[in-house]
Amino acid sequence: MQLEVLQRKENPLLKRVEVTFKATHKAEPTPTRDALRAFLAKELKATKDIVVIDYQASTFGRYETVGEAKVYKSKEEALAVERKHILVRNKLIEPEVKKEAAPKPEKPTPTPRAEKAEKPAAPAPKAEAPKAEAKPEAKPEKAAPREEKRPGAKEEKKPAEKKEEKKDEKKADKKPESKKKEAK
C-alpha cells in the first residue's frame, strides 16, 4: 500500500495538523482504519494513538482510498476535542454500553385452579325451580325450488324456444336491407 499526503494544514488553536490523504492499494482489499492510522503515523512521524481518521472512502472499481485525518500533539488533546463516535471508531475510547434498568419485580404467579377450589366458597345460591325445556320446532321440509322472476334477471329460455329464435334471425338476415328497415 502506498500513502500520499495530498494536503497538510496546521491548526494551532486546536493543537493539531489536518491532513487529506490518498492510499493506493493494488491487489489488496480496502485498508482498515487501523492500518491507515499506522501508515499515517509512520508517514507523519507520530504515534498511532494521536492520529484520528475523520473519514475514509473507497471508489468502486478503483484501488484508491481517500480521506481526512487529524494528528494531535497529545492523546489528551484528541480526547478533549474530537467527537465521541469518531474516537470510538478509531478505538481511542471504548464504546459506552447502556446499562439495563433495574430488573422489574416479577409478578406473582397465578395460583392453580385446584387450590382455588379448596377455598371456602360463597354461600350457595338459592335453589331455582327447574326450567321447562323448550322443544325444538319441527322444520318444514324443503319444497321444490320456485322459479321466480326477479327484476333485472335474465330469463332462461328452453332449448326449443332458442332454436325457433335462431331460425327467425336467419330469415331476417336473408331479407334485403330495404325490407329490414321497413320491418323495424
Residue 62 sits in a domain whose CATH number is: 3.30.70.330
Asked if the structure places residue 13 within a domain, the reply is yes
Confidence band for 85, pLDDT divided at 50, 70 and 90: very high
Mean pLDDT (whole number) for 37-46: 94
Q: What domain range includes position 79?
A: 2-89
The phi and psi torsions of 84 (rounded to 5 degrees) equal -65, -40
Mean pLDDT (whole number) for 123-131: 61
3-state secondary structure of 11: strand
Q: What is the mean pLDDT of the chain?
A: 79
Task: Check residue 106 and give its pLDDT.
Answer: 75
Query: 51, 37 in Cβ contact below 8 A?
Result: yes
Task: Check residue 109 and give its pLDDT.
Answer: 74
Looking at the predicted structure, is the pLDDT value of residue 2 above 60?
A: yes
Rounded to an integer, what distance in angstroms lies between the CA atom of residue 45 and that of residue 40? 8
Give me 49's grid cell: 494513538
Q: How many CA atoms lie within 13 A of 74 on its CB side?
A: 3
Rounded to an integer, what distance in angstroms lies between the CA atom of residue 84 and that of residue 93? 8
Asked if the structure places residue 100 within a domain, the reply is no
Asked if the structure places residue 54 within a domain, the reply is yes
Asked if the structure places residue 69 within a domain, the reply is yes
Number of domains in the chain: 1
- Among 16-20, 103-107, 139-143, name the one with the lowest average pLDDT: 139-143
Q: What is the pTM of this model?
A: 0.52
Asked if the structure places residue 141 within a domain, the reply is no
- Rounded to 5 degrees, what angle do the CA atoms 55, 61, 67 make? 15
